[in-house]
Structure 1
Amino acid sequence: MQQISRRSFLASSVAALGGFALTACGGTAASSGPVTLRWSMWVSTPQERAAWAALADNVHKAYPNITIKLETSAFDPYWDKLQTELASNTQADIIGMQGLRMPAFAARQALQPLQTFISKDNDVNIADFYQPMREMMSFKTQLYGLPYDIGPVALYYNSDLFKAKGVEAPSATTPMTWGEFRAKAIALSDASKHQYGYAIVPSFDAVVPWLWSGGADYMNEAETASTLDTPEALAALHFLMDLILKDKCVVPITDLSNSLFAVEQFYSGNVGMIMGGPYDAINMRANAKFKWDIAPIAAGSAGSVTRLSGSGFGISPHTQYPEQAWQALKLITGTPALKQLASLGRAYPARSSATSAFLQESTPIKNIQLFQKILDGSIPHSKGHFFRTTTTWQETEVMFAQEFNPIYLGLHSVEQIVAAVKPKFDKLLQRHQALVNK
């Protein structure tokens, strides 16, 4: 990911752009004959699909000539399906895009740059989007998508289980140390009752906050070499693996391919803590039959350093209706739309003008302000960190799934896993540099 170029993204044009009101603007392209736009997106539950379907209906209400056909898949199959569609130029007109995957798709021209639309549209306010999300949705100074959410990862915890076990709940204002986290996780665990202090998704992404909080990283700033073999990275990985394999206070991993493993275990009521973002709130309220709340993730030697990521939508370069797709894209990422998503707990809005809706959602949790405090950097020893990825991140994730994720099974040592991963990661970073410098 070209982080340096992203920081300068649209610097000259942002100041000139005005505010966006979610009303039909009456533009000639959007007012022409009837069209049907396909919109692809991932969902995990019926509640999520209903939230997106409501926004699709809003587009039709605002622009009666535009009908949105919503096409949804579960998260993991979504990316396989998208790759297949891109290969045959059958992708949707509007494409859901995770920020960490944006460089890979933008570099392959799977989305079209939005500056042409922005430069001739006085009704869009790009500056209203949080800067990290403008960076995540851009590549080589060009914006390729409009974000809908920003997701600072926090620690979700089962208040009822903490109370039943007589364990003090995590503080919302002072991050636990790693030692305190370990002690709480052990105290919450009882294998005979299938109760565990923590559950983790068996993926590389899940270890990133642990690496950062331990003063490590997964690649260098120049994005030319992996840094997983540094003493700090190895120490962080050892701490996490010891929780799983020695302390046995983490739910045993039984399925390396299940990206919903941690949250499904949490729903059972037998898990004390998991990491999750604001986007998990809608499903948490629907599926968790116990009291829960949120706290900062545990702090290592570098503090509580959590992951900032998010998603948005882009426009296919092969759409037959680019102007109509732009009108729809503006609407589904406008302030009223993001407030609607926020009120359901589906997204922490990527627009600063819409965040109040999440903080006032219909069934708020006690520490609801935490997500904003992470973004503001107002919690001592806690901060959010931009999740850097590369143009070869799709291939990198496949490599991680094959070479890194078995670390959770304990069949190989941390050092053996890192020794297998590093040369392959380095090679992918070399390919990334070649793509960036083309």
Structure 2
Amino acid sequence: MKHSYRLLPAAAALLLAAGCATGNQPAANTGGDGGSADISFSFWGTNSEAASLKAIAAAFEQANPGAKVTTNWIQADYEQKLQTSIAAGTQSTVMEISNTSLAGFAPSFAEQSVDPGKYVQPNISSALQFEGKYYAMPFAAKPKVMAVNVDAFKAAGVPLPSATTPMTLDEFKATAAKLSHGDGKARVFGSSNLWYRGWLTAAGGGYYNADATECTFGDETGVRTAQYVVDLQKDRTAPTSVDVEGQDQAQWFAAGRLATFSDFGPWTVADFAKISKPNWTLVPVPGKGFPMEVDGLGISKKAGGKQLETAKKFVEFASTQQVAQDKLIQGNTALGVPIIAASTPTLEKVLPADRNLAAFTTALKSGLVGVSVAREAQLSGDADKGMTSYTPLGTGKDDVAKILPQLAAKCTQALKK
């Protein structure tokens, strides 16, 4: 979903035809002051995520008799196919976009008016700004929390973490070490594999500076965090990327091989709902938490007249109305966390209170949202490849204090092109 490429027109037309086969064909945007008020809506996601978005579209039609929303579910290579449709002039009227990718699509989206006061915290709306203007309206947030194996904590005589206050990184490291024991495939790790970028945010750092002019993961905080990850792996407190390659860590957790699972997003709820043994609950991610993704709805610049009016009503409906926000939750599956106060308890009710899904509400209100960067997937992908190739963050042996500043300098050069 996060990879986008610009294609030549001929290739674009061919790929568009293949991409649209996964959903209903979006109507071309003719613009103008008259014409049809019908709109089309493109989005990505799993079956359950698509079900949520289709349900929101259906609810909008019910609330607005005569309105028609044609859904276009793109199941793979979403951003690439979105760029292709934009190049061909056949894009949908409304398009889902992540805050992390907004910078690359903003030139193709119409500017929108967004009221930050309608959401549970200002970061939600500001996440969809680019160069001081709103180019999408938020409709779902995806903060992360940490699952803990209650049985493992009790067996080790270690107190459970607070349900509301995050541990410090030092506290987490010490706790995870106490929970680790055994050898080989019987090894129980105190922590799941550590996502460096997430832990960098938890430590107060980031991949980029605030105005997206510099890659900062090679600074003092970035190097210190990388060494933190390497140390936990070296001590066998956390599995390495080689240990978990091609394997689902949720299954490791279910098998009792992990005492904590720190990469738990709303979409993970459905998988963990099936786990009754070991007993588990949710707590905040240590430190400042992991980056929070915010998904929004952009409107095509080509939209005009009645079609534009309908598009504005639709994105406002999906973003601010409880009947729409409640549909982000389908059964025990969550596309994301609702962003308005009236709907934030919806996710909490999916599972019993002892699972503490309220941790998502806490994370939502304090979630950190990174800056949007054009070509972000390429830039971070190149950096990640270098880290995993040359340092113990992956399969390499070189000192992170040497490699990360070099990679950050190359990243900054590419960023400025």
TM superposition score normalised by structure 2: 0.76
The CA deviation at 1:283 is: 2.7
Q: 1:154 aligns with which of 138, 145, 151?
A: 145
SS at match of 1:312: strand
Alpha-carbon distance in 2 for matches of 1:188, 1:238: 19
Give 3-state SS (helix, strand or coil) of 1:157's partner.
strand
Q: What are the Cα deviations for residues 288-340 of structure 1, in whole angstroms up to 9, with x where unaligned?
A: 454332212224xxxx4543332122122245733333333222222321123
Question: Structure 1 residue 196 and structure 2 residue 193: aligned?
Answer: no
Which residue of structure 2 lines up, in the alignment, with residue 128 of structure 1?
118
Instruction: Report if aligned partners of 1:268, 1:288 keep a CA contact under 8 Å in 2.
Output: no
Paired position in structure 2 for 1:228: 217
Say if 1:113 and 1:221 are closer, same or farther in 2 by CA, change over 3 A: closer
2:248 matched to 1:275? no
Residues 33-432 of structure 1: pairs in structure 2 closer than 5 A: 35=38, 37-43=40-46, 46-63=47-64, 64-73=66-75, 77-106=77-106, 109-115=107-113, 127-129=117-119, 130-163=121-154, 166-186=157-177, 187-190=179-182, 191-193=184-186, 195-200=188-193, 206-244=195-233, 246-254=234-242, 262-263=249-250, 265-266=252-253, 269-276=256-263, 279-290=266-277, 291-299=279-287, 304-319=288-303, 321-333=307-319, 334-342=321-329, 344=331, 345-361=334-350, 363-376=352-365, 384-406=367-389, 407=391, 408-413=393-398, 414-431=400-417
Cα-to-partner distance string for 1:154-199 (whole Å, 9 max, x where unaligned): 2222334444555433222443333432343342454332543322
The more displaced of 191-200 and 309-318 is: 191-200
Which digits, 9 at most, give the CA deviation of each residue in 1:43-86, with x for residues without a partner? 3xx33332223223223323444043240425xx3333333333
Which residue identity lines up with residue 394 of structure 2 in the other structure?
A: L
Q: Are 1:39 and 1:71, in contact at CA under 8 Å, matched by a contact in 2?
A: yes
Q: C-alpha displacement at 1:411, in angstroms?
A: 1.0
Aligned to 1:6: none
Q: Contact 1:343–1:357 at 8 Å: present in 2 too?
A: no
Distance in 2 of aligned mates of 1:275 and 1:420:
28
Is the partner of 1:400 in helix, strand or coil? Answer: helix
C-alpha distance after superposition, 1:357-387 (max 9, x if no partner): 33444544443333333455xxxxxx54332
One-letter amino acid of the counterpart of residue 153, structure 1: K
Q: 1:255 to 1:193 in 2, by over 3 A?
A: closer
Contact 1:256–1:405, Cα closer than 8 Å, also in 2: no
Q: 1:71-105: per-residue Cα shift (whole Å, max 9, x none)?
A: 0425xx33333333334334333222111221222
Partner secondary structure for residue 146 of structure 2 = strand
2:171 aligned counterpart, secondary structure: helix
Change (3 A) 1:365 1:114: farther
Unaligned runs of 5+ in 2: 1-31
Contact preservation (8 Å) 2:43, 2:73: yes
| Contact map agreement 2:123 2:367 (CA 8 A) in 1 | no
CA shift for structure 1 position 210: 2.5
Letter in 2 for 1:172: A
CA distance in 2 between counterparts of 1:114 and 1:385 reads: 23
Checking the alignment, whether the CA contact within 8 Å between 2:40 and 2:71 is kept in structure 1 is: yes
Identity of aligned residues (%): 20
Letter of the 1:390 counterpart: V
Q: 1:58 to 1:418 in 2, by over 3 A?
A: same
Does the CA-based 8 Å contact 1:134-1:147 persist in structure 2?
yes
In 2: Cα distance, 1:359 partner to 1:283 partner: 13
Report the CA distance shift for 1:393/1:173 in structure 2 as closer, same or farther (over 3 A). Answer: same
Amino acid at match of 1:95: M
Q: Decide whether aligned partners of structure 1 residues 398 and 173 sit closer, same or farther in structure 2, where only a CA change above 3 A counts.
A: closer
The alpha-carbon distance between structure 1 residues 324 and 365, as it changes in their structure 2 partners (threshold 3 A), is farther
Partner deviation per Cα, 1:254-284 (whole Å, 9 max, x = no partner): 49997x9555654555322223455235434
Per-residue CA deviation, residues 221-252 of structure 1 (Å, 9 max, x unaligned), is 454333333333212110111212x1223233
Partners of 2:388 and 2:61 in 1: how far apart?
A: 43
Alignment check: 8 A CA contact 1:47 1:282 kept: no
Once residues 35 and 208 of structure 2 are traced to their aligned partners in structure 1, the CA distance between those partners, rounded to angstroms, is: 49
Distance 1:263 1:81 in 2: 30
Query: Offset of 1:211 from its aligned partner?
Result: 2.5
- Note if contact 2:145-2:282 (Cα within 8 Å) is conserved in structure 1: yes
Count of residues in Structure 1 that have an aligned counterpart in Structure 2: 372
* Separation (CA, whole Å) in 2 of partners of 1:80 and 1:233: 30
Contact 2:147–2:260 (CA under 8 A) maintained in structure 1: yes
